[in-house]
Chain A
Amino acid sequence: MDQVLINTLIRGGELSLLAIGVTMVYGTLRFPNFAHVEFATAGAYITLFFSAVFGLDLVLAGVIAIVLVALIGVASDVLVFRHLRLAHPVMPMIASFGLGIAIRETVRGSAGTSPFFLSQTLAERWHVFGATITDTQVLILLLALLAVIGFHLLLTRTQLGIAMRAVSDNADLSLASGIFSERIIRLVWLIGAAMAALGGILIGLETQLQPNMGIGLIIAMFAAALLGGIGNPYGAVLGAFVVAFAENVLLATNWAWLGTLVGMDVDYLMIPTGYKEAISFVVLILVLLVRPRGILGDPAR
């Protein structure tokens, strides 16, 4: 069970980094950005590029990647989404999918489909309470935690963060109160893309890099954001851990007791691991059926 908890924490940390950015953009601009997961892919691959091709230190390469992806995030707003502020919400949604395809296929075309690894060294393993955790995983947990705490401090302790929350809550009202929304929106893109890039790098460190690593996270990320209530970064973190918990715990649980209830004579009844990716979708739909605005969102109309 401890192993399940560690896996939940790591997956939850990685998902949080993605979900925070997408929920902030969603809250501010009212559309789900399907390209957001590709910021993670781009972050991981740019890190790989600078560390493998230029031989830079992994940390330095990672920092460069985060800065570059943050700029890509701002550029995508300036070039595309800024022009769609007044359009039907489906327009930026479809545009974001086009952007996602363009980024993903650029990665695939230049790096190929074979998987890459960011760290070549064998990870050091520690045993804690019967569970195994690698040094990479500890690093991932620490970085994810730092990023979330940093973002929390930004939101609560700075003028900028308060403005961001105001714009995310009600863009028109905050404009009327003298907040220059456009500048705040660009900052939301900058920070959101940077956090997604960090998430992508961490996922790359833990597992491997492949062009589909982002698109595979799309439902888990939206499930996290929607579960927490759109525009609510704390909800996104909560949602990320709910999704991670569901994925890991439901798969590790022996459901034999449920089988005996319906009269099956089994000792062992598990959800096949092939369904792992489907769990976040089921959780998403179930929660939306009960609480259409998410766990922390306003109650249903």
Chain B
Amino acid sequence: MIEFLIYLLTIIGIWGLLSLSLNVQFGLAGLINLGHIVFFMVGGYASAILVMFHGWPMPLAWIAAMAISALVGVIMTIPTATLRQDYWAISSLAFAEIIRFVLKNTPIQGDYIGASFGIPDIPQPLGDMLSTHGFYLFFLVLTLVLLALTYAVVEWITRSPYGRVLKAIREDDHVALALGKNVRSVRMRAMAIGGAIGGLAGAMFAHYNAFIQPNYFLPLETFLIWAMLLLGGKGNHLGAIVGTVVIELLYNSTRFLKDFIDIDQGVLSSARMVVIGILIILVVLYMPNGLVPEKRRRYARE
């Protein structure tokens, strides 16, 4: 039970980073990124490849993973100038899938590493020095520390003048443009920041799970992150974390429910997803601001 709890908290920490990074892009900048999982995927692959096949030390590889994912975010902003918001949203989904297909079809070393086989035996940080139990405990602490740091950084960004420009663009980019703000560059930086955080989460997941494969990064994952953010409350970082906790609890509920309810595992796992699907609809319909709504500053009394 304690192992499961440690696992659950670590997963919540990693996915918490993902919802924070989506919150920077959507909650603050208003960018509807439906390919958010691409940062997670690229970060994981980049770090695993650098450590395993180029002999990079792990901390350096994680930083490189963040930089590469940030670059991916910058590339994704290129069509925002010409494309309508919703067209860009669908293209971002397509973009993430293209990257996934490239990874799915590219062998990395030999015939059985890379492509659809994924990357096995990714080294775990301090993995050979600690016992299995010790490693999971260590990784949990590492995850929570990095989550807290990231939280502090995004909170600081939100309160900074840059954060206010982001929110202004989210509300109406024409106004921000008229005030002389470089909308494109501000958006690009939001995508880069979100990309870097997502890349960090991906690198952490790759080295935690010790195995990654392209099918871990399906569009469904992106929508689960969206569900976390909308359920918790978009634009509010605390909300992003709360939403992550709720969705991850639901998502992993089958693991302990199977001891109490005697039905087929497949049916139970589908039922869990149906519940999440309906929950998403209910949140959108009845709680559009989420569990922890964003505090909006009022400039005038009504």
Question: Are A94 and B89 in contact, CB atoms less than 8 angstroms apart?
Answer: no
Known A105-B273, A109-B267; contact A83-B97, beta-carbon cutoff 8 A = no
**A148 CB, nearest partner CB in chain B, Å:** 23
Known A95-B284, A102-B274, A105-B274; contact A31-B86, beta-carbon cutoff 8 A = yes
Q: How far is the CA of A272 from the CA of B273 in the complex (A)?
A: 34
- Give chain B interface residues in 64-86, CB to chain A under 8 Å: 79, 82-86
Q: Does B113 contact A (CB under 8 A)?
A: no
- Mask for B261-293, Cβ within 8 A of A = 1, else 0? 000001100110110111111001100100000
Q: Does A292 contact B (CB under 8 A)?
A: yes
Q: Does B32 contact A (CB under 8 A)?
A: yes
Question: Are B271 and A219 in contact, CB atoms less than 8 angstroms apart?
Answer: no
**A224 CB, nearest partner CB in chain B, Å:** 12
- Kindly list chain A residues whose C-beta atoms are within 8 Å of the C-beta of B219: 215, 218
Question: Are A285 and B95 in contact, CB atoms less than 8 angstroms apart?
Answer: yes
- Kindly list chain B residues whose C-beta atoms are within 8 Å of the C-beta of A92: 284
Residue in contact with B280 in the complex, picked from A95, A215, A226, CB distance below 8 Å: A95
Q: Does A91 contact B (CB under 8 A)?
A: yes
Question: Are B226 and A97 in contact, CB atoms less than 8 angstroms apart?
Answer: yes
- Mask for A67-98, Cβ within 8 A of B = 1, else 0? 00000000000001001100101111111011
- Kindly list chain A residues whose C-beta atoms are within 8 Å of the C-beta of B191: none
Q: Does B102 contact A (CB under 8 A)?
A: yes
Residue of A nearest to B85 (CB): A89
Q: Does A237 contact B (CB under 8 A)?
A: no
Determine chain B's interface SS by DSSP, over half rule.
helix
- Kindly list chain A residues whose C-beta atoms are within 8 Å of the C-beta of B271: 105, 109
Count contacts between A and B, CB distance < 8 Å. 130
Q: Does A156 contact B (CB under 8 A)?
A: no
- Kindly list chain B residues whose C-beta atoms are within 8 Å of the C-beta of A110: 267
Question: Are A222 and B280 in contact, CB atoms less than 8 angstroms apart?
Answer: no
Question: Are B93 and A219 in contact, CB atoms less than 8 angstroms apart?
Answer: yes
Q: Tell which of A129-137, A199-207, A259-267, A274-282 binds the partner.
A: A274-282
Q: Does B94 contact A (CB under 8 A)?
A: yes
Category for how many chain B residues contact A: 35 or more
Question: Are A285 and B94 in contact, CB atoms less than 8 angstroms apart?
Answer: yes
Q: Does A99 contact B (CB under 8 A)?
A: yes
Question: Are A91 and B273 in contact, CB atoms less than 8 angstroms apart?
Answer: no
**B30 CB, nearest partner CB in chain A, Å:** 9
- Kindly list chain A residues whose C-beta atoms are within 8 Å of the C-beta of B104: 274
Q: Does B119 contact A (CB under 8 A)?
A: no
- Kindly list chain B residues whose C-beta atoms are within 8 Å of the C-beta of A98: 227, 276-281, 284
Question: Are B281 and A106 in contact, CB atoms less than 8 angstroms apart?
Answer: no
Q: How far is the CA of A34 from the CA of B91 in the complex (A)?
A: 14
Question: Are A108 and B266 in contact, CB atoms less than 8 angstroms apart?
Answer: yes
Seed contacts A98-B280, A274-B104, A281-B97; 10 additional CB < 8 Å A-B pairs: A89-B85, A93-B32, A94-B230, A102-B273, A105-B277, A110-B267, A215-B219, A215-B220, A218-B93, A300-B82
> 27 A-B residue contacts at CB 8 Å?
A32-B86, A87-B284, A90-B26, A90-B32, A99-B277, A102-B274, A102-B277, A102-B278, A105-B274, A105-B277, A108-B266, A109-B270, A218-B93, A218-B219, A219-B97, A222-B90, A274-B101, A274-B105, A278-B97, A278-B101, A281-B95, A281-B97, A281-B101, A284-B90, A288-B91, A292-B83, A292-B87
Closest 6 CB pairs of A and B: A98-B280, A109-B270, A102-B277, A101-B277, A278-B101, A281-B94
